Structure 1
């Protein structure tokens, strides 16, 4: 085994998202670290988890990756539209992850949250990704 898939997965997901013109027309960016004074709406890449998923002689991982939708639209309509884009791009798909073969990416859950400031809407979205180490 030579390293976890988490960083390769995180960077591949971001690359895959920012390559989508329809999503990027809807959001002001997709970030690992959000710049100061960033305009809304945007998506951040949150936590990644990884557990071993070995098959015969190959090392694999089952990862989760959580994305966060941030909006200041009055209500959750804008966030729901962004979620639809994320699911269109990621759910039930495979995409390139350098050094890994993606067996599938699956929508796991989302949740709507009103932040304490009363203005910001936050929607965490989690995906499960099954990967095998590339040969």
Structure 2
């Protein structure tokens, strides 16, 4: 049974994650912003919504989604300390925390992974920490 496009959790999930992160005072004190799209001259550090993979997670006669969503933390701080502190706050806000997702019932959010990367392009001072979460949802009746 395939999930109707209108029942996709991707867009409402992205909105819920952005709303949750932007609403947190502590996170706002750590970053210059949380975005779905970033201007080229955006000041560091910041978080941008990244890739997502949604697969059906249907149960009996209900439609659900298993979505892995990745957020990207970007920093120009020397070393990874700043980016990892930001990623830790993101994890505290999302892991095992309820989300309000329009048209969907939030079932669970699990931390999947994070990685530390250095942008090799000159000047080579950009730190990047992708952090991924698995979000399970059911379509609201």
Unaligned runs of at least 5 residues, structure 1: none
Residue in structure 2 matched with residue 127 of structure 1 by the alignment: 133
Question: Given the alignment, which residue of 50, 53, 61 partners 2:54?
Answer: 50
Please tell me whether residue 40 in structure 1 is matched to residue 44 in structure 2.
Answer: yes
Write the deviation string for residues 42-101 of structure 1: whole angstroms up to 9, x where unpaired: 000001110001111110000010000000000000011101100110011121001001
Helix, strand or coil: the match of 2:79?
coil
State the 4+ residue runs in structure 1 displaced beyond 3 angstroms: none
Unaligned runs of at least 5 residues, structure 2: none
Residue in structure 1 matched with residue 119 of structure 2 by the alignment: 115
| Count of aligned pairs between the two proteins | 135
Question: Given the alignment, which residue of 5, 14, 20 partners 2:9?
Answer: 5
Relative to the length of structure 1, the TM-score reads: 0.97
> For 2:113 and 2:40, how far apart are their aligned partners in 1?
28
- Asked whether the equivalents of residues 7 and 139 of structure 2 are also in contact (C-alpha less than 8 Å), the reply is no
> For 1:129 and 1:83, how far apart are their aligned partners in 2?
17
Relative to the length of structure 2, the TM-score reads: 0.93
Residue in structure 1 matched with residue 63 of structure 2 by the alignment: 59
Please tell me whether residue 31 in structure 1 is matched to residue 32 in structure 2.
Answer: no
